[in-house]
Amino acid sequence: MKIIGTGSAHPALSVTNDMIAQFLDTSDEWIVSRTGIKERRLITDETLEDLAVEAAKNAMENAGVKLDEIDFLIVSNVVNEYDTPSLSCVIHGMLGLECPSFDINCACTGFMYALDIAESFLKTHDYRNILIVCAEEPGRMVDWKDRSQCVLFGDGAGAVVVTQGDNLKAVQLRTHSKVDPLWQKRLMQPTPFVTKEEKGGPLVMNGQDVFKLAVSSSTDDIDIVLRRAGMTPDQIDYYVLHQANIRIIEMIRRFVRQPQSKFPVNIEKYGNTSSATIPILLDELNRSNRLKEGDMILMSAFGAGFTTGAVVLRWGKN
Ligand code: COA
**Residue nearest (by alpha carbon) to ligand 1 atom 10:** 148
Q: pLDDT tens digits, residue range 19-29?
A: 999 999 999 99
- Supply the pLDDT for residue 190: 78
- Supply the pLDDT for residue 193: 85
Whole-angstrom distance, CA of residue 142 vs CA of residue 151: 9
Q: How far apart are the CA of 297 and the centre of ligand 1, in A?
A: 30
pTM confidence score = 0.97
Tell me the three-class secondary structure of 192-256, residue by residue.
CCCCCCCCCCCCEECHHHHHHHHHHHHHHHHHHHHHHHCCCHHHCCEEEECCCCHHHHHHHHHHH
Does 32 score more than 90 pLDDT?
yes
Q: pLDDT tens digits, residue range 79-116?
A: 999 999 999 999 999 999 999 999 999 999 999 999 99
Confidence of residue 284 (pLDDT cuts 50, 70, 90): very high
Give the Å distances, CA to CA, from 231 to 225, 238, 295: 9, 13, 13
- Supply the pLDDT for residue 51: 98
- Supply the pLDDT for residue 258: 98
Does 179 score more than 90 pLDDT?
yes
Mutate to test the pocket of ligand 1, among 18, 27, 28, 148 (most ligand atoms within 8 A of CB): 148
Residue 145: count of CB within 10 angstroms of its CB: 10
H/E stretch holding 285 reads helix 277-287
- Supply the pLDDT for residue 195: 78
Torsion of CA 232, 286, 139, 268, to 10 degrees: 70
Whole-angstrom distance, CA of residue 187 vs CA of residue 71: 35
What's the average model confidence in pLDDT over 166-184? Answer: 96
- Supply the pLDDT for residue 196: 80
- Supply the pLDDT for residue 188: 79
Whole-angstrom distance, CA of residue 244 vs CA of residue 274: 8
Residues with CB under 6 A from ligand 1: 26, 30-31, 34-35, 108, 147-148, 151-152, 205, 207-208, 210-211, 214, 244-245, 272, 303
Does 317 score more than 90 pLDDT?
no
Confidence of residue 191 (pLDDT cuts 50, 70, 90): confident
H/E stretch holding 118 reads helix 110-124
What percent of the chain stands above pLDDT 70? 100
> How open is the CA angle 250-157-269, to the nearest 5 degrees?
45
Mutate to test the pocket of ligand 1, among 18, 29, 34 (most ligand atoms within 8 A of CB): 34
Does 189 score more than 90 pLDDT?
no
Confidence of residue 194 (pLDDT cuts 50, 70, 90): confident
**Residue nearest (by alpha carbon) to ligand 1 atom 19:** 148
What's the average model confidence in pLDDT over 48-66? Answer: 98
- Supply the pLDDT for residue 172: 98
Tell me which DSSP letter residue 60 carries. Answer: H
Does 140 score more than 90 pLDDT?
yes
Which domains are present in the chain?
A: 2-166 (3.40.47.10), 170-314 (3.40.47.10)
